Amino acid sequence: MPTTESDPSSPLTANALALGQSRGSCGLLFRPYWWDAVSEASTFDQPVQRRCDVAIVGSGFTGLCAALTLLRNGRSAVVLERGRAGFGASTRNGGQIGSGNQKFRVKTLIALRGRAKAEEMLREGTRMLDHIASLITQEDIRCHFRRCGRFRAAVRPEHYEAMARDMEDLARIADVESSMVPRSEQSSELGTEKFFGGSLLPNDASLHPALYHAGLLERIKAAGGKVLDHTPAQHIVPVGYGFRVITNRGVLFARDVIIATNGYTDGLVPELGRRIVPVGSGLIATSELSEQLYERLLPRNRVYGNTNRAFYYFRGAPETRRIIWGGRVGRLAPSKSPAAFRHLARDMLHVFPDLKDVPITHAWDGQIGYTYDEVPHIGCTKDGIHYALGYCGTGVSRASYFGTKIALKVLDKPDSGTSFDDLAFPAFPAHPVAKLAVPVVETWYRIRDAANF
Ligand SMILES: Cc1cc2nc3c(=O)[nH]c(=O)nc-3n(C[C@H](O)[C@H](O)[C@H](O)COP(=O)(O)OP(=O)(O)OC[C@H]3O[C@@H](n4cnc5c(N)ncnc54)[C@H](O)[C@@H]3O)c2cc1C
């Protein structure tokens, strides 16, 4: 399809991005909008210490919550990070906080796991939401945490009916509070006619991910912990009394090691590498909207998503009336090009056509960690290396909770147990093929969503 190129000196509007009418990047910043709020202090000048109780690989929410728990219990912890601190998904995500309970319909989860296990997992999902709320309060982290509620919009009438039945099941089996909003009342939730009503989970929440991450970092530093950026763990070698962790900047001896690399997991621990497939996820941020427009589109200022297989999600950014819109990344275009984010602008304008002249200021992506059975896993490898990963795209609360729990396991605390402990952790049957197949599966999901089969 021929496209008209826009003036490179003018900002890139949502409409121009959606139509592919962009020359160069048109001032679009290919970095997370959230990073504007935090400074980029490096620890590269700090030496790698020789010994610690626990070495943690990965400085996202999992790694930092593990470190904080260990430090609060009198252990020394060193976090190793390949990029800048928080390089991974933890400072790139949408900041939507859910329980993970919507990953499967309740009936599907019961069919897969049995009723008792399904109930345990669903109740624990709710506890994960409460855990992040109390962690933020206890540690006094200023990150705009808010129990704003989640509205999940039905793309088709039958999706609304299916969600209503699922919400009833959730209430019955795990006492999860929710309500349904029919299409006739939908304008109180969203300024669009595109959906067929939706479900409302009032306890779901939102935060500013980079501020939450920065708050955790500060608490770790204050408690005497170390987070070493630009220091990848290159090899982990079991020795009699623990592990030698070899980095680009020296060797660290640790009694225990925790792997907290989620969607950035590679072959460092091959047993884990075979169990995670990284899937790209992208976001765009609009410039600030007028108060009137913002309140018409998002009158309750919640977090939002839809019911498609290849779903999109959106919310307002705290204190600025920008819209942050996310979904899968466009795999066929270079990740730092407007073309990689074109479909996000198209989806956004389908829902909110009034945003067509609004400039898009930021576009970025990150990697989520998928497991074969689509549930996160926590445990220990056959060599005794601890891990917590595989949040399948719902990781703000789950990574914080699993990070805390894996540290409690290292500490051998009685409250370290989770209902995920005894789940088998299957490898992908043909891992290299599974990694390559991700874009094909995404396209297939989009086709099925469009054709409704
Ligand atoms: C674009 C996007 C949007 C998302 N939106 C949401 C959302 O709205 N709500 C939600 O609940 N979840 C969301 N998620 C998922 C959520 O962000 C993640 O599940 C969560 O942040 C995972 O945290 P983590 O600490 O386990 O991993 P990460 O934050 O990804 O951290 C892993 C770190 O490990 C490091 N690493 C890897 N290998 C090594 C090595 N060898 N040595 C040293 N360091 C290493 C990486 O550099 C990386 O920084 C989103 C994810 C993405 C990418």
Using a 10 angstrom Cβ sphere, with 0-12 exposed, 13-18 middle and 19 or more buried, the burial of residue 334 is exposed
CB–CB of 453/154 below 8 Å? no
Residue type, 430: A
pLDDT, tens digit, for every residue of 240-256?
889 999 999 999 999 99
Cβ count near 418 (within 10 Å): 23
Cα 182 to its chain centre, rounded Å, is 29
- Ligand 1 neighbour 92 (Cβ under 6 A): yes
Using a 10 angstrom Cβ sphere, with 0-12 exposed, 13-18 middle and 19 or more buried, the burial of residue 138 is exposed
- Ligand 1 neighbour 283 (Cβ under 6 A): yes
| 37 Cα: distance to centroid of ligand 1 (angstroms) | 18
CB–CB of 25/16 below 8 Å? no
Residue nearest ligand 1's atom 20 by CA: 395
Nearest-angstrom CA–CA distance, 76 and 137 = 24
**Of the residues 101, 220, 247, 261, which should be mutated to test ligand 1's pocket, given the most ligand atoms within 8 Å of the CB?**
261
CB–CB of 175/125 below 8 Å? no
CB–CB of 358/284 below 8 Å? no
| Every domain of the chain and the residues it spans | 1-30+277-370+441-453, 49-149+203-276+373-422
**Mean of pLDDT values over 389-416:** 97
Is the pLDDT at 431 greater than 80? The verdict is no
Kindly give the number of the ligand 1 atom that is closest to the alpha carbon of 86: 49
49-149+203-276+373-422 topology per CATH: FAD/NAD(P)-binding domain (3.50.50)
- Ligand 1 neighbour 376 (Cβ under 6 A): no
Is the pLDDT at 322 greater than 90? The verdict is yes
Nearest-angstrom CA–CA distance, 329 and 327 = 7
Is the pLDDT at 445 greater than 90? The verdict is no
| 9 Cα: distance to centroid of ligand 1 (angstroms) | 34
* Whether CATH 3.30.9 fits 1-30+277-370+441-453: yes
Paired sense of beta strands 226-228 and 250-259, if any: unpaired
Is the pLDDT at 5 greater than 60? The verdict is no
Is the pLDDT at 408 greater than 90? The verdict is yes
pLDDT, tens digit, for every residue of 285-311?
999 999 999 999 999 999 999 998 778
Nearest-angstrom CA–CA distance, 26 and 372 = 39
Give the E-state strand segments of 15-174 in sequence order.
51-57, 77-80, 96-97, 150-153
| 78 Cα: distance to centroid of ligand 1 (angstroms) | 18
Residues of the chain above pLDDT 90, percent: 83
- Ligand 1 neighbour 260 (Cβ under 6 A): yes
Residue nearest ligand 1's atom 9 by CA: 96
Check if 1-30+277-370+441-453 and 49-149+203-276+373-422 are the same fold: no
Cα 364 to its chain centre, rounded Å, is 13
**Mean of pLDDT values over 166-188:** 96
Q: What is the pLDDT of residue 3?
A: 40
Comparing 50 with 40, the larger pLDDT belongs to: 50
Kindly give the number of the ligand 1 atom that is closest to the alpha carbon of 60: 25
**Of the residues 82, 132, 212, 217, which should be mutated to test ligand 1's pocket, given the most ligand atoms within 8 Å of the CB?**
82
Which tokens go with 32? 């997370």
pLDDT, tens digit, for every residue of 209-232?
999 999 999 999 999 999 999 999
Q: What is the pLDDT of residue 443?
A: 67
